[in-house]
Copies of this chain bind each other. A is one copy, B any other.
Amino acid sequence: MGRLTGGDPSLLRRINSAVVLHALRATDYATLTEVTRVTGLSRPTVEGVVEGLIEAGLVVETAAEEGAARRQGRPARRFRFRAEAGHLLGLEIGPHRVAAVLADLDGTFLGTASKAVSETASADERLDRLRVAVADLLRRAGVARSSLRAVGVGSPGIVEADGTVRLGTALPGWTGLDLGERLRRSFRCPVLVENDANAAAVAEHWKGAATGSDDMVFVLAGLSPGAGSLIGGRLHRGFGGAAGEIGALHLLGREATPETLLSTTDKPLHPLDEQAVAEVFAHARKGDARAQAALDRFIQRLVHDVAVLVLALDPELVVVGGWAAGLDGVLEPLRGELARYCLRPPRVALSMLGEAAIATGALRLALDHVEEELFAVESTVTARR
């Protein structure tokens, strides 16, 4: 973590490159002399680094400003960072829809797209829908596929580091799917697959309810609840990508599943039947006692799961998303229970990004990946070519 391995020349090249690129990005237009002065690097080092960055397409020499006062002799060459040098995609693959967000290397949004998909769709059908959405989006934005530098993906399930879904019961054919590999066939750039709740946590931190809160838990409340957490501003995935998979908590001495808790009859709801869930909510709002009781059971369970996460992680803030964000009265019992169990209860807020959270977080992860390549100074980073 930032500790330098003494005398490793490739690491030092990376550091120098990051320093120069960051200086250029900060100043927009700079001369080699300015970069040398700002960075403390030697002139030959700066020249070598800038040359490499130009070859990589990340920096370009610009014409001398016409308006600048002419000094004697040749004007100094000026350079700038090319934000347009690449593009990024953030994708969501969910039970009922697929969605995509496109941005440039500064993370500026250039467009979005989404398509409905059946909850019973096979993995192939679901990925086909996604490809259509992406192709539409790139065409509309006039961005070539070859310009993509990284693609982030948020999807339900426990995801391995290589993008394989180890367990994903929410989508048909998802468990064991080599999702990363499948998507890499469509994109000639790194594809980063992330659990949907994890991606949403990143998004709420970037531009949602958790900006300014580096230690937060995002709860994606639904029939199969999941959670994502940031610790010190960084996503906490766990060693095997299973951190926050609180769906298994009900096994710890509790037999009830969300589907049974939310049912107003003897039969549990279907795990993906959000229509049935919406009806329970609607009935509860109309004063139906059975529906209200089902909703209370569900909220109580959600509150318990969140309390356990809070004791283990001690976040500053809990953001509630998924459908629970649309529930009346989910925040008050949550605040009450957390005050009971926690010495310093975290703040509790509803998601601000709603259904855009997952794709937005996936985009941020793609941007993080590119920024790490370009700007990060970390001894543990393995350079990728």
Contact = CB atoms under 8 A, between A and B. Distances in A.
A133 B378 CA distance: 40
A7 B38 contact: yes
A158 interface: yes
A23 interface: yes
B245 A343 contact: yes
Interface stretch (A182-190, A309-317, A358-366): A309-317
Contact of A307 (B41, B252, B346): B252
Contacts of A346: 239
A206 interface: no
A171 to B, nearest CB: 17
Contacts of A371: 3
Contacts of A312: 243-244, 246, 308-309, 312-313
A246 B167 contact: no
A104 interface: no
A4 B2 CA distance: 11
Interface in A310-362: 311-316, 340-344, 346
Contacts of A314: 237-245
A4 B16 contact: no
Contacts of A196: none
Contact of A2 (B23, B249, B342, B377): B377
Given A2-B2, A314-B242, A41 B40 contact: yes
Q: Most chain-B CB neighbours within 10 Å: which of A6, A39, A241?
A: A6
Contact of A40 (B24, B45, B243, B252): B45
A27 interface: yes
A12 B22 CA distance: 12
Contact of A27 (B7, B43, B233, B241): B7
Nearest to A378: B2
Contacts of A236: 231, 313
Contact of A341 (B26, B231, B241, B251): B251
B240 A343 contact: yes
B15 A19 contact: yes
A375 B244 CA distance: 34
Contacts of A26: 5-7
A341 B243 CA distance: 13
A345 to B, nearest CB: 10
A242 to B, nearest CB: 4
Contacts of A41: 40-42, 45
A313 B38 CA distance: 42
A13 interface: yes
A12 B40 contact: yes
Interface of A: 1-7, 9, 12-13, 15-16, 18-19, 22-27, 38-43, 45, 158, 166-167, 215, 231-234, 236-246, 248-249, 251-253, 304, 307-309, 311-316, 340-344, 346, 371, 375-378
